[in-house]
Structure formats: C-alpha cells, structure tokens
Amino acid sequence: MKAIICTKYGSPDVLQLREVEKPTPKSNEVLIRVHAASVSAGDCELRGMRLPLSWQFIARIGFGFRGPRRKILGQEFAGEIESIGTEVKQFKKGDQVFGTTGFSLGAYAEYVCLPARSETQVMVTKPPSMTFEEATAVPVGGLEALHFLKRGNIQREQKILVNGAGGSIGTFAVQLARYFGAKVTGVDSAEKLDVLHSIGVDQVIDYTKEDFTKNGQSYDAILDVTGKISFSGCLGSLNPGGLLLLANPTVPQMIRGSWTSRTGKKKVIFGAAKQKAEDLNYLKELIEAGKIKPIIDRHYPLEQIPEAHRYVESGRKKGNVVITIFSG
C-alpha cells in the first residue's frame, strides 16, 4: 500500500511517499481502507518536534527521541472497513466509519488497523449524508471544542471569547457555543474573519489590530486555542467567577492556572479531551441536524501531504485541511 513515511523530525520535506506492507488486523481490530485524512497543527508540531521546550522531552519519550517510532503519521481518518478480527462484534465489513487513531497515528496511508474498542482512540459509523472528507474533519477539533465547552458549562446568554477561532478547534467551538445559546466573540487574523461571520460569530476581533485583553470588554469564559496569549490579560478580561479554558497550555500556564483556581474566584481549566464514542456521535447528530458543520479550507491528495503541512504551518488555514486518499 502507499503511505507517507516520516523517519526523522524536521521540515515537511522529511515526509516521503513509499510502498509499505499492508497491515493485517488482530483479533480485536478492524482493517480500514482510508478514504480521507487531515493535517492539523498538531500533526505539524509532531513532525517537526516544534513544541515548547517544556513539552519536548515528554513528547520525545512518547514518540521517539531522534524520530517518530510510528513512521506513518496522521490522527484523523474516514474510510470503509475492509475486514474485521474474530473478536469484533460492533462493526462489520463494509461499514463506513470515521474517528481518531490516537497516539498510534497511521492515518496517512491507504489502510490502517485499529482496535474496535479503545480508551485512546474513537471510531463511529459515518452517516450517508456526510462525505468522507467532511467526516475526517470532525473528530479532533470537534471533540476538543466540545470537551472544553462542556467543562466550562457554557450556557445561554453567557459571553464567551474564542481566541484562535478560525482553526479546526475554534470553528467548532464557535458553532457549539452558539448552539448552546452563548454570545460569541471570535479572535483571529483578518483573512479568517469572513469564515467566522459565516458560522454565526456575534463579534470578530482581528488580533493584528486589536488586543482583546485591553479593549475594556469582559467575558464569562475565554477559550484559548493558540497558547500564545497573556495569561494575566485573560484573567483581567474575565467577569467575576469567569473561566479561562486552555486548549494548548504551556507548563507555566498550567502551574499558574492551578494556583489561580485554588486561590481565586476565577477558574482555569485545561487537559485534553478523552476520546468517547458518545461525544463523537453527539457531534455527528448535530451535523446531521444542520446545527454545526465542519469547515474545510483545502483538499490535497496523499502525495501532496508535504505541501499540506507547509500550508498549515503558514497559519493561514481556515478550519481544516483534508487529504483525499481513496476517492472511489
């Protein structure tokens, strides 16, 4: 089968198209013919090991010091089950599915094997109304956004600001917050503001022209996707009892956040989403009902994944970048 292989950390040029052995499912696994995958900012950070120094050592322990142990990257997929292991009961051959590969990665290939049940991966059936490309753009961004809005207990008429609103997590966070009845301010670059208007944001702020922490406005919750904002500035922009939700916190932010939550009236929440089928099914139902939708910026074929990585790293990505692997 064809796959994109990453043998060392570095620029997008380290990604190479090769022929590799097609995997065989174990008794508890399914073999999926991958129709579509995605390229996220997280994929690019892992490929280049471009993480804050405080996270690099931990990441290298988990994924490999000199290069990734798992040579095929990719976290999101959508495809069709080609065969199943003898112990698999909840899926059958021919089921169309989508989900995440978790730390196993492997979505940048024509085939991938995944366990039918897992605490670190999630997979559900794809509805006929969704294309494979639409489905692969849902899991990571959608689950992370849902996780933080649920932990923040976002409710009707609350004011929430989403910093980094034009990305994969941000576009889902805006739509979910609107669905929950909140009033949403979206912060991102000027070229992404049209997308934010199209998904119902109440107010947009171009961060290159205005610092939202200094404009005198306050919010019940702030969701930061970027990890690059002023911690103190955000706390100062929260109403009494407000919540700061950190999707990509630095270690210093986590330490300060824990202290703030223990000693003050404002709370700081961080921690990655758990992969739950019930949450992914919830997102699927909202999409089928027309309440939210995945935002797709660009499509690339498998062999152009290095170009897709370059585009994502440019910071211009609006929503999601999708890889079409099998279009039959």
pLDDT string in tens for the chain (328-residue length): 999 999 999 999 999 999 999 999 999 999 999 999 999 998 999 999 887 766 777 778 778 777 888 899 999 999 999 999 999 999 999 999 999 999 899 999 999 999 998 988 999 999 999 999 999 999 999 999 999 999 999 999 999 999 999 999 999 999 999 999 999 999 999 999 999 999 999 999 999 999 999 999 999 999 999 988 899 999 999 999 999 999 999 888 999 999 999 998 999 999 988 889 999 999 999 999 999 999 999 999 999 999 999 999 999 999 999 999 986 5
Task: Please report the pLDDT score of residue 63 as a whole number.
Answer: 81
Question: CA 58 → CA 52, 73, 168, distances in Å?
Answer: 11, 18, 24
State the pLDDT at residue 49: 87
Q: Specify which residues 78 forms β-bridges with.
A: 36, 98
Q: Which of 219, 273, 271, 215 is closest to 248 using CA atoms? A: 271
| Integer Cα distance of 19 and 1 in angstroms | 5
pLDDT at 56: 76
What's the pLDDT at 69? 83
Prediction pTM value? 0.94
Domains and CATH numbers, the chain: 2-138+294-324 (3.90.180.10), 141-270 (3.40.50.720)
CA end-to-end span of the chain, whole Å? 16
Strand pairing of 96-100 and 29-39? unpaired
Residues 94-128: b if buried by 16+ CB within 10 A, e if exposed: ebbbbbbbbebbbbbbbbbbbbbbbeebbbbbbee
178: left (phi over 0), alpha (psi -120 to 50) or beta: alpha
Spatial neighbors of 7 by CB under 8 A, at least 6 apart, are 14, 16, 67, 68, 71
Continuous segment of H or E residues that includes residue 93? none
Rounded CA-CA distance 75/63 in Å is 14
Give me the pLDDT at residue 78, please.
98
Sort strands 76-84 and 96-100 into parallel, antiparallel or unpaired: antiparallel
